[in-house]
């Protein structure tokens, strides 16, 4: 890419391509800007990757409903596919910048559980979906927001790890595993961690669970331990990652990585976190799995199982 000063920036196509790139053009205007040129919007619709033109106010409304990188990317991708069909049928609404159309699009998208309902959009005369979403889904929104607010604990963990480690630190990759999760996935994960924490405090027995990260294809293991022996804890954290890898390699020919997020709590039953350790087990380091390893692993983990989908409003 060449800027107005003739400076050339080259992008790694493996990281920046039509499949992974999303673009937002922000216009910082306090009121309605006016009608955009038809071809300007048409070119964004026909672009190989999503490009959305909106005001700063529109973008702030969007961020109130899509506040993670993954949520924002999913919305912009679905929006792009929606406009590829609807723009040519009725371009008028999409040419007005600053008339809160984006708010109506977001309301429509959320009302239908993160999808664009083509038939409903066509049938609506006024496109007033934001108000309908806020009124008819008010109880669902309140419950969802409470769960989402609790999940911000994970945001703090992600930020802390990135802030306190160098860009080349081995902790950055496990952090990326968490950063790729949507807000609802983070809320689900936070609830699982809280459930396991409660059981740990009640029983004193180690707790664990694993889930597959659909954005990376990797497995993420969470291991909760109560005690003072750091060496045992750290060794077991690595062993948990390896055990899950052994099961998936042996039963499902798994080819990626297993990340383990291990949390050690104070031994006095107060629930204070003493230590957090992140370990990883890579498939290429385990070309074969012995019968003894599989038998040990299956005492801790099952193979890949079916899971219920995580939705906006369960």
Encode pLDDT of 204-254 as tens digits. Answer: 899 999 999 999 999 999 999 998 899 999 999 999 999 999 999 999 999
Residue 164 pLDDT: 61
Residue 288 pLDDT: 96
Residue 172 pLDDT: 73
Q: How far is CA 156 from CA 7, 88, 159, in A?
A: 37, 43, 5
Q: Which of 9-13, 122-126, 220-224 has the lowest mean pLDDT?
A: 9-13
Residue 18 pLDDT: 73
| Structure-token pair, residue 312 | 């906006």
Read off the pLDDT of each residue in 59-65 and give the average, rounded to a whole number.
93
With a threshold of 0.75, does the pTM exceed it? Answer: yes
CA distance 187 to 308: 15
pLDDT over 90 for what percent of the chain?
65
Read off the pLDDT of each residue in 73-90 and give the average, rounded to a whole number.
96
Which residue from 18, 23, 91 is spatially nearest to 54, judged by alpha carbons? 23
CA distance 167 to 179: 15
Beta strands in the chain (DSSP E): 23-27, 34-35, 51-55, 96-97, 207-212, 219-226, 257-265, 273-282
Read off the pLDDT of each residue in 189-212 and give the average, rounded to a whole number.
93
Residue 208 pLDDT: 95
Residue 281 pLDDT: 96
- Please name every residue paired with 97 in a beta bridge, in sequence order, or none if there are none: 34
Which of the two residues, 8 and 229, has the higher pLDDT score? 229
Q: Assess whether pLDDT exceeds 70 at residue 82.
A: yes
Q: Assess whether pLDDT exceeds 90 at residue 280.
A: yes
Read off the pLDDT of each residue in 92-117 and give the average, rounded to a whole number.
93
Read off the pLDDT of each residue in 80-84 and give the average, rounded to a whole number.
96
Encode pLDDT of 155-169 as tens digits. Answer: 887 887 766 656 666
* Cβ atoms within 10 Å, residue 141: 18
Residues in the chain: 314
Task: Kindly indicate the confidence band of residue 94, based on its pLDDT and cuts at 50, 70 and 90.
Answer: very high
| CB contact at 8 A, 54 and 40 | no
């Amino acid at each position: 890419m060449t800027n107005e000063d003739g400076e050339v920036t080259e992008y790694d196509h493996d990281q920046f391509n039509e499949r992974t790139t999303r673009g937002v053009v922000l216009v910082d205007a306090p009121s309605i800007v006016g009608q955009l040129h038809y071809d300007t919007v048409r070119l964004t619709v026909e672009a190989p990757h999503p490009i959305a033109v909106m005001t700063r106010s529109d973008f702030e409304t969007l961020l109130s409903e899509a506040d993670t990188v993954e949520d924002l990317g999913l919305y912009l991708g679905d929006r792009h596919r929606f406009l590829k069909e609807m723009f040519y049928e009725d371009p008028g609404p999409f040419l007005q910048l600053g008339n809160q159309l984006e708010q109506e699009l977001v309301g429509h998208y959320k009302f239908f559980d993160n999808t664009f309902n083509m038939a409903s959009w066509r049938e609506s005369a006024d496109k007033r979906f934001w108000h309908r979403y806020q009124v008819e889904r008010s109880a669902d929104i309140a419950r969802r927001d409470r769960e989402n607010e609790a999940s911000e604990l994970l945001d703090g963990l992600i930020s802390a790890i990135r802030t306190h480690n160098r860009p080349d630190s081995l902790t950055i990759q496990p952090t990326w595993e968490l950063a790729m999760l949507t807000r609802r996935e983070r809320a689900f994960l936070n609830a699982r961690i809280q459930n396991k924490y409660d059981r740990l405090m009640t029983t004193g027995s180690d707790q664990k669970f694993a889930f597959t990260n659909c954005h990376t294809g990797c497995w993420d293991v969470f291991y909760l331990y109560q005690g003072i022996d750091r060496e045992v804890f750290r060794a077991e954290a690595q062993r948990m990652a390896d055990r899950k890898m052994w099961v998936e390699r042996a039963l499902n020919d798994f080819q990626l990585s297993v990340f383990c997020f291990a949390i050690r709590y104070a031994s006095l039953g107060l629930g204070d976190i003493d230590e957090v350790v992140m370990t990883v087990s890579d498939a290429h380091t385990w070309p074969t799995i012995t019968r003894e390893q599989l038998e040990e692993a299956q005492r801790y983990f099952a193979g890949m199982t079916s899971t219920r989908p995580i939705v906006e409003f369960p």
